[in-house]
Amino acid sequence: MSRLDRIARSVAVAATVAALSWSAAAAAEVQEINLARVNGISMLPLMMMERHQLVQKQAKQAGLGDLNVVWWTSGTSNVNNDGLLAGKIDMAANGVPTLLVLWDKTRGTPIEAKALSSISSNPSTLVTRNKMNSLKDFTDKDRIAVAGVGVAAVYVMLQMAAEKEFGPGNSGKLDNLAVSMSLPDGMTAMLSPRSEITAHFASPPYVDREIKAGRFPLLTAKQILGGGGWDLVLCTTKRFHDANPKTSAAVLAALTEAIEMIKKDKRGAAETYIEMSKEKSSVNDILEQINDPDNEFTTAPHTVMAFASFLYRVGKIKGELKTWKDLFFPEAHQLQGS
């Protein structure tokens, strides 16, 4: 038997063993779930779920017993994607463009990534240290902080805006200026006069603090997308979703409950945000952002097709969405999305 034959046989045996192990494990749902998020007002529903142990509550009501819930806080969406693919994270909060790229790479496989639902719709703003009139005012000396070069929603919106400003084929015009930074780090850099960062495409509460500190808003997500903000979605793999339908339903029920809690007690939600984020903000400042009509907490998806159409057209994804439902598991299909 040749070396190649031995390798092929080993791979086949390993695949068979893995399939049998997976089949046995699928009979029972997980006893522990790992969930990932980053910071920011857009993550408030997940913070509410963590603080008030809503997943554990819904799991127990669904007859799943005492589900152990582990929460991870990462800096960027790239980290969440790596965790999902490695199986170390079961569900993660990501922007729609991040999920689209991940879905495109995994579609048709057991780890195909899709969303259970939306979490929030976010009014991100591109803020600059020096007052500018348009994107054409940027020079090679500028640096723009974004939460994830390549796949983050703000990075993709920067490309969408560049194409509108500089014309077809120029979506990457400002790519060389983009720097991947977490939201808190991006804000710190923007507020420091010694930093090389001269612009930050960010969501609340960071962008609000930058504007109050004298930085200048240049462009909003609503202007780029033609109405509405960009969606943060809760995503998982087909493998986890299909093997754990009751657990997935419990997480979705917890998310829905968290959003209802925010709407019923916004001040209490603001207090929870400060507690969970460990940020030095006043309750009134966070409450102001929660009350912003452009900052919506909802399970219904928005602007999915705007991102999907752009990424497909510029060749960032090879799979074309026919409808936003192609990116979501059946649980979300009854929602009024776009």
What's the confidence (pLDDT) of residue 217?
95
What's the confidence (pLDDT) of residue 14?
36
Could you tell me which residues are beta bridge partners of residue 118?
Answer: 233
What's the confidence (pLDDT) of residue 86?
87
Q: What is the mean pLDDT of the chain?
A: 88
29-120+231-332 and 125-225 agree in CATH topology: yes
Angle at which helix 266-277 crosses helix 245-264, to 10 degrees, equals: 120
φ, ψ dihedrals at 121, nearest 5°: -115, 125
DSSP state of 320: P
Kindly tell me if the per-residue pLDDT of 13 is higher than 70: no
Give the residue-averaged pLDDT of 151-163: 92
Domain range 29-120+231-332, CATH class: alpha beta
What's the confidence (pLDDT) of residue 75?
60
Give the residue-averaged pLDDT of 67-83: 81
Which tens digits make up the pLDDT trace of 284-301? 989 988 998 888 899 999
Task: Please list, in sequence order, all residues whose beta carbon lies within 8 angstroms of the beta carbon of residue 294, skipping any fewer than 6 positions away.
Answer: 121, 123, 222, 229
Domain ranges of the chain: 29-120+231-332, 125-225
Percentage of residues in the chain having pLDDT higher than 90: 68
Kindly tell me if the per-residue pLDDT of 166 is higher than 80: yes
What's the confidence (pLDDT) of residue 184?
87
Q: Rounded to two decimals, what is the model's pTM?
A: 0.84
Task: Please list, in sequence order, all residues whose beta carbon lies within 8 angstroms of the beta carbon of residue 212, skipping any fewer than 6 positions away.
Answer: none
Which tens digits make up the pLDDT trace of 92-143? 999 899 999 999 999 999 999 999 999 998 888 999 999 999 999 999 999 9
CATH superfamily name and code, 125-225: Periplasmic binding protein-like II (3.40.190.10)
Q: How confident is the model at residue 274 (pLDDT cuts 50, 70, 90)?
A: very high
> From edge to edge, which strands make up the β-sheet containing 178-180?
178-180, 144-146, 199-202, 125-128, 216-220
Q: Cite the beta strand spans of 161-310 per DSSP E.
A: 178-180, 199-202, 216-220, 230-237, 296-297
Do the Cβ atoms of 198 and 128 come closer than 8 Å?
yes
